[in-house]
Amino acid sequence: MLTVDTDISTARAVAARAAPSLAIIEMPGRQGVGFVVSSHGQLVTNLHVVAGAEEIHVLLADEQLLQVEQVLALDEKRDLAVLQLPVSGLESLRLDGHVHPGEGDTLFILLPAGGGMLGLMETRVQAVQVLDESLTFLELEAGLPEDASGSPVMDASGALVGVATCAFADGRPITIVIPSRYVVPLLEQQATLPLSTLALARPVASRQRQVPTHPLSLLEGCATDSVEEIALAIMQAIQLGAPAYNQGDPESCYRLYERTAERLIQERPDCPGAQAALREGLQRCTRLEGADACAWALRDTFDGLLHLIDRWLQAQAAFARLSAPRSYLQ
């Protein structure tokens, strides 16, 4: 457990509020965690926890063991699943889609600790990550056990922040939180789905972005026109590649990004810093497996350069204003 300076009474209050809603999800050969968000038996967890499961039992805090036969909703992009339990009148956590912690804020993760005991992990928000316009998530300082994915995350007031998720970035485990605001619309689904729906699920939200942060000096010596042309080429590649990826064709997306990076390296010797950043992106792909991972590696490379170019152009404009000749009254 990660220790931070939080009043013990606060931690106990958070645990007491969330404990009755916690559930252990049992499947042949593996288990995960979920939590009840409605008295009508709606259970939230990560999609990757239950993806492919042909049989699911849920052990509730009051020791009821229930068999799950229906799925209420799935969200592959955000790695979320809502299971429908065959019971009502359950204690639940109240969803609040308006909780938005920032970097450095203290959060609590409630998770099973073995032997029927519960553990409360304290941690802080390390970063707020924007994957794209449809997904923002939190990266936490603490590491989460793989079998604890799906645990509820609360703030110091006990409000539900989201779903704790064990993810991987370049082969290393990290802990992220899928915000609760993405769960709210899933609960509005009217029709249930059979359990067999999980066999086709492909969660993708547990992927962690690795967007590099470059110093302005990387573009030292580059002409403004050249920098703008690099940005335009990258944006055009994203405009074509992102739709291909979203339509289930990561191979075409990756190859387009790869060709764009290689072309810019060849055509822009006047911007050696940009060349180096693009080469690093291509080199990262050699350490990854599959077109999906490589497409995201190059998208990270592109986004890092676009962020740098935007800052660099703003700095150039500010310098031009400072350098402009001034007229003084005599």
Tens digits of residue pLDDT in 44-71: 999 988 988 889 999 998 899 999 999 9
For the ranges 163-167, 236-240, 248-252, the lowest mean pLDDT is seen at 248-252
Residue 120, both tokens: 């409360």
Can you give the pLDDT at residue 296?
Answer: 87
143 contacts 24 by C-beta, under 8 angstroms: no
SS3 content of the chain, % helix, strand, coil (to 5): 40, 30, 35
* Segment 19-37 mean pLDDT: 91
Q: Which residue has 């709210």 as its token pair?
A: 184
CB neighbours of 250 closer than 8 A, spacing ≥ 6? Answer: 244, 290, 291, 292, 295
Residue 118, both tokens: 């519960």
**CA distances in angstroms from 293 to 174, 233, 310, listed in the order given:** 16, 22, 26
Can you give the pLDDT at residue 134?
Answer: 80
**CA distances in angstroms from 12 to 21, 119, 167, listed in the order given:** 15, 11, 27
Share of the chain above pLDDT 70, in %: 87
pLDDT over 80 (residue 1): no
Can you give the pLDDT at residue 323?
Answer: 46
CA distance 327 to 194: 76
**CA distances in angstroms from 13 to 60, 116, 125, listed in the order given:** 20, 19, 20
Which segments within the chain are labelled E, that is strand?
A: 22-27, 30-36, 42-46, 56-60, 65-68, 70-75, 80-84, 106-114, 117-132, 135-140, 152-155, 160-169, 172-179, 193-194
pTM listed for this prediction: 0.62
β-strands 42-46, 30-36: how paired?
A: antiparallel
The mean predicted confidence, pLDDT, of the chain is 84
pLDDT over 80 (residue 18): yes
Residue 31, both tokens: 């288990």
Can you give the pLDDT at residue 209?
Answer: 67
* Segment 157-167 mean pLDDT: 89
CA distance 229 to 324: 25
CB neighbours of 78 closer than 8 A, spacing ≥ 6? Answer: 135, 178, 182, 205
- Please give the angle made by the CA atoms of 69, 17 and 73, to the nearest 5 degrees: 25
* Segment 219-247 mean pLDDT: 85
pLDDT over 90 (residue 270): yes
